[in-house]
């Protein structure tokens, strides 16, 4: 008993005593480690849900762009602001699809960072789809012979363009005629047209052996 107070102080400083006090103080409460672990699991679950939802949202946007392309419809109208009476075919399709797709509708209503309906996104989707189309058209690389057709045209903004069409025979021995692209040119002189055509042919027929495929230029 003479050394009781010293022994009590020594015991109070021991690890076993402090652990016991901590467990007693948190009795009936959720451990902070458990809370953090549960928060982490919820964050991972939300992230996984977003990752699985994003391809679905992007697919809906691509289908709207494809619809406009198949039927040769202009995507944008005169005014794409919210509540406009003339937002354009693309935004009209987006609203229509949202009425049939709850996931897509929820995305449009709640998206804070990427909604996917801006002019920039529309243009990017068109560029990516054009790249895919070019890859399909450029099966010309496996063709033995190639002919090109080029003609000048002017769009509604009076911009002079060159229409480039490819003709070739595919692996099934069937004649294919594919519109390749509109190419903007500064003027309709022979020098400008020749320069543009040579640039495109160098892209299509990069190898010297490929250049031997060109047999006609109507």
pLDDT tens for residues 128-144?
A: 888 887 777 667 777 78
Rounded Cα–Cα distance for residues 185 and 103 (Å): 44
User: Given the DSSP bridges, would you call strands 214-216 and 146-154 parallel, antiparallel or unpaired?
Assistant: parallel
pLDDT score at 60: 92
pLDDT tier for residue 192 given thresholds of 50, 70 and 90: confident
pLDDT above 60 for 218: no
Segment 133-161 shows an average pLDDT of: 76
Query: How many CB atoms are closer than 10 A to CB 202?
Result: 11
Instruction: Quote the distance between the C-alpha of residue 70 and its chain's center.
Output: 19
Pairing assessment for the beta strands 146-154 and 160-169 based on DSSP bridges: antiparallel
The model's confidence at residue 2, banded by pLDDT at 50, 70 and 90, is low
Burial of 116 (0-12, 13-18, 19+ CB in 10 A): buried
Provide the pLDDT for residue 11: 66
Question: What does pLDDT average to over the chain?
Answer: 79
pTM for this predicted structure: 0.56
What pLDDT was estimated at residue 182? 83
Nearest alpha carbon to residue 201 among 181, 187, 186: 181
């Amino acid at each position: 008993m003479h050394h009781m107070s010293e022994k009590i102080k020594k015991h109070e400083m021991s690890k076993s005593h402090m652990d016991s006090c901590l467990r007693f103080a948190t009795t009936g409460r959720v451990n902070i480690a458990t809370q953090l672990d549960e928060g982490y699991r919820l964050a991972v679950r939300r992230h996984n849900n977003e990752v699985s939802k994003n391809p679905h949202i992007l697919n809906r946007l691509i289908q709207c762009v494809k619809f406009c392309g198949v039927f040769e419809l202009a995507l944008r109208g005169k005014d794409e602001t919210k509540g406009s009476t003339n937002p354009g075919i693309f935004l009209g399709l987006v609203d229509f699809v949202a009425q049939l797709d709850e996931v897509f509708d929820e995305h449009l209503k709640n998206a804070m960072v990427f909604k996917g309906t801006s002019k920039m996104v529309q243009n990017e989707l068109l560029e990516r789809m054009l790249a895919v189309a070019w890859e399909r058209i450029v099966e010309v690389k496996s063709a033995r012979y190639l002919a090109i057709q080029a003609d000048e045209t002017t769009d509604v903004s009076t911009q002079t363009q060159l229409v480039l069409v490819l003709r070739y025979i595919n692996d099934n021995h069937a004649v294919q005629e594919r519109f390749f692209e509109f190419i903007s040119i500064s003027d309709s002189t022979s020098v400008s047209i020749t320069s543009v055509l040579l640039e495109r042919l160098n892209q299509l027929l990069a190898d010297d052996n490929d250049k031997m495929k060109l047999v006609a230029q109507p």
